[in-house]
Amino acid sequence: MKRTVLAVVCVMVLGAAVAPAQDTIIDSVMKACEPEITEYCSRVTLGEGRLLACFYAHEDKLSGACQYALYDAAAQLDAFATAVTYVATSCHDELLKFCGDVQLGEGRVGTCLLEHKAEAGAECQKAIADVGFEMVEETPAAK
């Protein structure tokens, strides 16, 4: 359980650029862990991993549903981190050439890479296709 909570904290920090996917993961943890949040963590100010720290402090009292949600979130975020690493490694030259000056965060580098996909080498294009990396238009309701 300690590894799961730590993995969730680490990957949430690394994967912050993918807000829609992250929101879904966070929502599922919040729903599954609602009783624990109410009982043990209701006074925790959300943000900067404080809720996960509360879960960690009360790990012996977490329900199976909450533990599973945390485990599932860690697994999803681990898969995301692996995909990002694969694309970043395969597209290293393209990232430097086309996106080197792009400010990090909020998916800007990923968007830049996709905007230059047609100009990318075969290895980079394959990595993008392998992980299903695609442009997603954000709608006002999604914000």
Q: Give per-residue pLDDT as tens, 59-86.
A: 999 999 999 999 999 999 999 899 999 9
Burial degree of 83 (CB within 10 A; 0-12, 13-18, 19+) = middle
Q: 66 versus 3: which is more confidently predicted? A: 66
Q: Does the pLDDT of residue 1 top 90, yes or no?
A: no
How far apart CA 13 and CA 17 sit, in angstroms, is 9
Q: What is the pLDDT of residue 107?
A: 85
pLDDT category, 137, cuts 50, 70, 90?
low
Average pLDDT, stretch 76-105? Answer: 93
